[in-house]
Copies of this chain bind each other. A is one copy, B any other.
Amino acid sequence: MTKAEKLLKEKKLSVTEARKSVLEFFLKSKKPLNVLDFKGDKTFESFNESSIYRNITKLEEAGIIQSIPSAGDYQSYELVNHGHHHHHISCSNCKKIQCLKVCGLEKRMKEMAKTVDFLLVGHSVELVGLCSDCRS
């Protein structure tokens, strides 16, 4: 049994070709995905657009994926377990989103919090930049 099938069964979702493919795409992707990513992949040419939307919704309801803030035209999603603490950077030009594996901001943030007499508990960060494609 594949990892996708196993995950779906755990969450008591029925295992269909479309659903399995959507989940597998998330499992193998290193960055958040939006509908356009699915439409651009030939695996999904055989599935209807509404099935992609409906399956994304199902996976989100099941807590397998989650939507993440994005500045672009499409809602982006990623696996809930996709790393523990991580942030994203989006391209200000083409809106592409990428996961960052590193953080290391806590030390400075603790100091910032201290300036207003707060004890730092957590943080959320969105970086904006220009990707290599858009720079050249």
Contacts and interface: CB of A to CB of B under 8 A. Distances in A.
Q: Bin chain A's interface residue count.
A: 35 or more
Contacts of A129: 113, 118-122
Contacts of A135: 119
Stoichiometry, copies per complex: 2
Interface of A: 67-71, 75, 87-92, 98-105, 108-109, 111-113, 115-132, 135
A117 to B, nearest CB: 5
A120 B127 CA distance: 7
Per DSSP, are chain A's interface residues mostly helix, strand or loop, or mixed? strand
A87 to B, nearest CB: 8
B104 A105 contact: no
- Which residue, of A67, A118, A122, A135, has the highest number of chain B Cβ atoms within 10 A? A118
- Which residue, of A88, A100, A124, A127, has the highest number of chain B Cβ atoms within 10 A? A127
9 contacts: A69-B69, A89-B112, A92-B122, A103-B112, A104-B111, A104-B112, A105-B109, A119-B135, A123-B128
Contacts of A102: 111-112, 115
A71 B97 CA distance: 13
A30 B64 CA distance: 34
